[in-house]
Structure 1
Amino acid sequence: MNPYQVQNAQNKQIMKKAREMGIECEPLIPGCEDFLELSYRGKTIVINKTRSHKMPLMAGLLAKNKDASNLLLRRRGLPVPDYIVVSQAGEEAVRFLNTHRMVIVKPLDTSRSVGVTLRIDREDDLENAVKTARLHSEQVMIQQYVEGTDFRVLVIGGKAIGALEYKPAFIEGDGRSTIEQLIRKLNEDQLRRNSVGDAGSFQPVDVESKSLLMHLQELGKSLQAVLEQGERVELFSGGNILADGISEIVLDRSEDISAVNANIAVEAAKALQVDVAGIDIRCRDIRLPLNDENGGILEVNALPDMIDPSLFFQGASTDVFQSYLQYLFEE
Structure 2
Amino acid sequence: MLRENGIDCARGSEFLLPWWADMLRQSDRQQFNHSMRDTKEALGYIDESLGFPVYIKPSRGSQGVGVARVETAEELDKLLNQCNEERVKVAVIEEELKMPDYRILVFDDEVVNAYERRPFSVKGDGVSNLEQLIDLKHKTLVDSGRDIHFERQLPIIMNKLGKMGLSMTDIIPKGTDVRLMDISNLSAGGTPVDVGEVMHQRWRDLAVRVARIFDLRICGVDLACKDITQSDSEYGVIEVNATPGAKQFMASGVAQQEKLEDIFVKFFRTL
Q: Same fold (TM over 0.5)?
A: yes
Matched-pair contact (CA < 8 Å) for 1:172–1:230? yes
For the residues of structure 1 that align with 2:157 and 2:15, how far apart are their CA atoms?
A: 33
What amino acid is aligned across from residue 100 of structure 1 in structure 2?
A: L
CA distances 1:92-126 after superposition (whole Å, capped 9, x unpaired): 6523344321222223465443443x222333433
Counterpart in 2 of 1:89? 39
| Runs (4+) off by over 6 Å | none
Cα 1:111–1:280 shift into 2, 3 Å: same
Paired residue secondary structure (1:191) = helix
- Give deviations 1:251-277, integer Å, cap 9, x for gaps: 222344333223222221111011112
Q: Which residue of structure 1 aligns with residue 211 of structure 2?
A: 269
Q: Distance in 2 between matches of 1:138 and 1:217?
A: 29
Aligned positions of 1:156-171 closer than 5 A: 156-171=107-122
Change (3 A) 1:115 1:177: closer
Equivalent-residue separation in structure 2 for 1:91 and 1:168 (angstroms): 31
Please say if residues 205 and 247 of structure 1, whose CA atoms lie closer than 8 Å, have aligned partners that are also in contact. Answer: no
Q: 1:313 to 1:262 in 2, by over 3 A?
A: farther
Correspondence 1:329 to 2:258: no
- The 3 A distance-change label for structure 1 pair 217 and 301 is closer
Q: Give the SS at the match of 2:93.
A: strand
Matches for 1:39-188 after TM superposition, within 5 Å:
71=1, 73-87=2-16, 88-91=38-41, 94-101=44-51, 102-108=53-59, 111-116=62-67, 118-133=68-83, 135=86, 138-188=89-139
2:194 maps to amino acid: R
Instruction: Identify unmatched segments of 5+ residues in structure 2.
Output: 17-37
Q: Judging changes above 3 Å, is the alpha-carbon distance between structure 1 residues 222 and 90 closer, same or farther for their aligned structure 2 residues? A: closer
How far residue 224 of structure 1 moved from its aligned partner, in angstroms, is 5.8
Alpha-carbon separation, structure 2, partners of 1:303 and 1:119: 24
Residue 262 of structure 2 is aligned to residue 319 of structure 1: no
Q: Distance in 2 between matches of 1:124 and 1:227?
A: 30
Give the AA of the match of 2:250.
S
Q: Deviations over 1:26-62 (max 9, x none)?
A: xxxxxxxxxxxxxxxxxxxxxxxxxxxxxxxxxxxxx
Q: Structure 1 regions of 5+ residues with no counterpart?
A: 1-70, 194-198
Distance 1:154 1:226, change over 3 A: same
| CA 1:310–1:96: 2 relative to 1, 3 Å | same
Secondary structure of the residue that 2:251 maps to in structure 1?
helix
Relative distance call for 1:159 and 1:146 in structure 2 (3 A) is same
Distance 1:215 1:316 in 2: 30
Contact 1:105–1:133 (Cα < 8 Å) also in 2: no
Whole-Å Cα distance in 1 between the matches of residues 94 and 270 of structure 2? 38
Displacement of 1:128: 4.1
Report whether the alignment pairs 1:252 with 2:193. yes
Native 8 Å contact 2:13 2:92 kept in 1: yes
Shift of 1:152: 1.8
**One-letter amino acid matched to 1:162:** N
Q: Distance in 1 between matches of 2:89 and 2:156?
A: 30
Q: Among the aligned pairs, what percent are the same residue?
A: 20
Asked if structure 1 preserves the Cα contact closer than 8 Å seen for 2:111 and 2:204, the reply is yes
The reply to whether residue 231 of structure 1 matches residue 176 of structure 2 is: yes
8 A Cα contact 2:117 2:193, kept in partner: no
1:155-201 deviation per Cα after TM superposition (whole angstroms, max 9, x unaligned)? 112121222333332222344555444334422443354xxxxx334
Once the two structures are TM-superposed, the CA of residue 219 in structure 1 deviates from its matched residue by 5.1
Shift of 1:133: 4.7
Matched, 1:281 2:226: no
In 2, distance between residues paired with 1:132 and 1:221? Answer: 25
With over 3 angstroms needed to count, the CA separation of the structure-2 counterparts of 1:148 and 1:274, relative to structure 1, is same
